[in-house]
Amino acid sequence: MDIVCLDMEGTLTPEIWEQVAIDSGISEFNKTTRDIPSYTELMDYRLSIIKQNDLKLTDILDATKKLDLLDGALDFLNQVRREFQVVILSDTFHEIAYPLMEKLGHPLLLCHNLKVDHEDNILGYKLRDLNAKRQAILGFQSMGYRCLAAGDSYNDLQMFEVADQGFFINAPENITSSMSEIPNFKNYSDLFDALRNYSQY
C-alpha cells in the first residue's frame, strides 16, 4: 500500500495568510515560503506583524473560515482516498487549519501548533520538527510504506528528497524551472493519473 503525502496550502487550499492580508489590510502577510524559503524566518516575520497590530487568534480564524478549497481539490482528494492512504503534511497550525479540514472531510493532518494565551493572544509557535514533512515520510518508509508526495512550494522539497516520487502541483514557474527533474502538473486530473501510474511500478 502506498501513502500519498499532500501539502495543504497552495496544493488543496488557498494560502491562509493571503486571506489574513486581505482582511487586515496588511500586505506583508502575503509573503509565503515561495518568497521566504526558511519557515522559521517566515513565521517570526508573521508573528512580529501580529504583535505590532494587536491581532488575535480569532482574527486569523475568521480569515480561514472565509476560504473555499481550490477548485476540484475535494474531488481529487476523494479520488486519492479510494486508492491510497492519504496524509496532509503541512507547515500550517492546527489552531487555524480546522475550518479547512472540515471542508476536506477531516483527513489526517500532521502540522504544528501555536502557543496561545487565555486572552487569545498568539505568543509563539511550536514546530514538530524543523523538517517535519521529511521526517514523517521517513517514518512511514521505515514501516514499509512507499510514499508519493505532492506540493507547490520550496518547503515541499524536503518531502521530494526522500519520497519514492514527488510531484509539483500548482507551483509557480520560478520554482519549477529550477527543479525541472520533478514532474509538474497544472491540474488534479493529471496529477491523479501520475499517482496511479507510479503506484503500479
Alpha helices in the chain (DSSP H): 16-24, 39-52, 57-65, 73-83, 94-103, 132-142, 157-162, 173-176, 188-199
Alpha-carbon gap, residue 39 to 108, rounded angstroms: 22
Dihedral sign for Cα 157, 151, 38, 182, please.
positive
Q: Which helix (H) or strand (E) element contains residue 146?
A: strand 146-151
- Per-residue DSSP letter, 13: B
Coil, helix or strand at residue 28: helix
Of 2, 7, 18, 152, which is the active-site residue?
7
Per the annotation, the verdict on 28 as an active-site residue is no
Give catalytic status of residue 9 as yes or no: yes
Per annotation, catalytic residue among 9, 15, 95, 156: 9
Residue 13 contacts residue 67 (beta carbons within 8 Å): yes
Rounded CA-CA distance 139/200 in Å is: 22
Catalytic residues, which ones?
Answer: 7, 9
